[in-house]
Amino acid sequence: MPYVNIRVAGELSKEQKSNICEGVTKVIAKEAGKPPESILIFIDEVKHENIAKGGTLLQAPK
């Protein structure tokens, strides 16, 4: 059973999450030869203030 964890800075709309899950599922099913119903996808939305790049916390887009 393939397991995919996607972490994003900020929030995504329900439609964005749905589209991402659909696309990722199609690619894994095709490339790994796994049935789509066996693919689990978890999307973690992380506040910008909890992510740093180059030692500096990210700023939320304005």
| 3-state SS track over 39-54 | CEEEEEEECHHHCEEC
C-alpha Rg value of the chain to the nearest Å = 14
| Highest CATH level, class, for 3-57 | alpha beta
Tens of pLDDT, residue by residue, the chain (62 residues): 999 999 999 999 999 999 999 999 999 999 999 999 999 999 999 999 999 999 999 998 88
**Terminal Cα-to-Cα distance of the chain (whole angstroms):** 39
Q: Are 26 and 4 in contact (CB under 8 A)?
A: no
Q: pTM value? A: 0.86
Q: Positive or negative, the Cα torsion across 47, 10, 59, 7?
A: positive
